[in-house]
Amino acid sequence: MEKAKVDHVENSASVEEQLHEGEETEKLDSLSREMANRGTATEHELTYWEAFKIYRKGAFWSMFISLSIIMRAYDIEISGNFYALPAFQQAFGVYYPGHGWQIPAEWQVAMSMGALVGQVIGAYIAAFPMEMYGRKKTFAVCLVLTAILTFMQFFATSIGVLVASQYLSGIVWGSYCVIAETYASEVLPLRLRGFLTGYINLCYVMGQFIQTGITLAFIERIDMWAYRIPFAIQWIWPVILLVGLPFAPESPWWLIRQNRMEDAERSLKKLSTRHEKVDTQETLAMMVKTDQLEREIRVGTTYRDCWTGTNRRRMEICILLFVIQNFSGNPVGFATYFFEQIGLTSVQAFDLGVGLNGIGFLGTLCSAIPLIYFGRRTCYIAGLGCIVVTLFTVALLSFAPDYDTNNVYRWVQATLLIVLSFIWQMTLGPLTYVVVCETPSTKLRSKTIALATSIDALTGLVTTIIGPYLLNPGAANAGAKIEFLYGGISIISLTWSIFRLPETKGRTYEELDLLFERGVPARQFKSYVIEDFNDEKAKLEPARHE
């Protein structure tokens, strides 16, 4: 009897302890939710200027990592510009009677494909070390590889070796795309997300602008240094980035998934400055709550998970935004060669190429205005509509009765394409990166961006292959009529955007998780009110009935 009493007392004490522990856990969970909710409220309450003042360090490091995109765009622009560089044409080209030295279309395709084929592989591979070792270590390895592969380009004596170097370098460039986009979306608050992810597009423009300007400076030279010096300049970027990288904070989202909460909090402190409105512990709680929500709705971490459940819709959006971007008719990738083939001289073509990139730079800067006052969806659809009209106008001018004898038409076409570039860089260009960075779940962001970047490269391969054959005098010689193709595709793209492109402006990652989980139509994303935001059970209930 005494033993039974003792056991009963011990069991009662054990039950009481468990109940007490359960109550304490519930209190902690409640406290954590309250902190997370305050963190979410702060994200919405911050003004643009307050967000910049508080998170200027995060903005700096996001821009710093995105400098790698300048390097990538610079090297890719070499392919298009060098086709029209006299010294490069004579060193690696073939003489066509009546047209002078030209790089054969098949080699243009092979060289241009290098970066894109490599990007398909590099983007897919990059997600694995990014999740295992972090964003910073993966980035450092890529920078070292770029410095090594630049030697191969610099000392190339045949176009075959040069093409091989493009393919190998392309693998690394594909990694930069995934790292820069993922990092920018993970170190910035809600108010700065649009600007700094859109800045990635500005880096592309800057890389293209710098490369075109440097090539123009050497256009009169006819020796090998006319193209070797532009190759050598690529060594500048890895040096700058490797020196600054040790001081950059790691992504707090990645640290949370590694259960390194103290490191995540330290990272948040490095990304922000002390301010009465922001508590890093509340921000951390908000991020942990988002991660827990994704566990509840069973968001996986593999490539296969990107194609299951609500993630399939997210994947569709990210992929098609890049596809639309590639088939929108923006001639930046082969602008100089395009201008040359519609009848302008090499010098005029390069001058317009520089002007095109300059206007694109201005357009990307101006994209900040619609990002503040209008939503992503509105700006994207309006921009795509303007692009459709411009493309068909450029193509139809080719049928003017005196088109072959009147150079005015060529200048009008060139001017319209510069206008198109301004519209494109103000809307489609930056908004693609903004929405692609905002749309994926936090657990699948790197892999979703990696897959979308690979598809971006694959569709880019299509335009790269057909572009030279449609423009080259030794092939179709279509000239400006090529815009009929892109105009028709852009009409289809516009239709898709109206029905499938959601509004992501002003939504935290947790809110976006809920909107996608509930199957909210794209046109209702902006106005949809999450009335039961703090009710964990109610959050998931509508999704189960859909």
pLDDT single digits (tens) 432-482: 999 999 999 988 999 999 999 999 888 887 877 776 666 555 455 566 777
Reading the block at residue 478, the tokens are 């279509």
Structural element, H or E, at residue 95 = strand 94-96
User: What SS3 class is residue 188?
Assistant: coil
* Count of beta carbons in the 10 Å neighbourhood of residue 152: 16
Distance of CA 99 to the CA centre of its chain: 38
- Contact (CB, 8 A) for 108 and 166: no
> What is the three-class DSSP state of 218?
coil
Beta-carbon contacts of 274 under 8 Å, excluding residues fewer than 6 positions away, are: none
Three-state DSSP class for residue 155: coil
Q: Which residues of the chain have pLDDT under 50?
A: 1-28, 474, 536-546
pLDDT at 334: 60
| Tens-digit pLDDT profile for residues 197-256 | 888 888 888 887 788 778 878 877 888 888 888 888 989 989 999 999 999 999 999 999
What are the backbone dihedrals phi and psi of residue 118, each rounded to the nearest 5 degrees, phi first? -60, -35
Domains of the chain, first to last:
39-292 (1.20.1250.20), 298-534 (1.20.1250.20)
What does the DSSP 8-state code read for residue 505?
A: T
CA distance 309 to 152: 45
Q: Considering only CA atoms, which of 178, 168, 176, 167 is closest in space to residue 142?
A: 176
H-assigned helices in 83-133:
86-92, 105-133
Contacts of 439 (CB under 8 A, 6+ apart): 314, 317, 318, 448, 502, 504, 512
> What was the pLDDT predicted at 470?
66
φ, ψ at 95 (rounded to 5°)? -85, 125
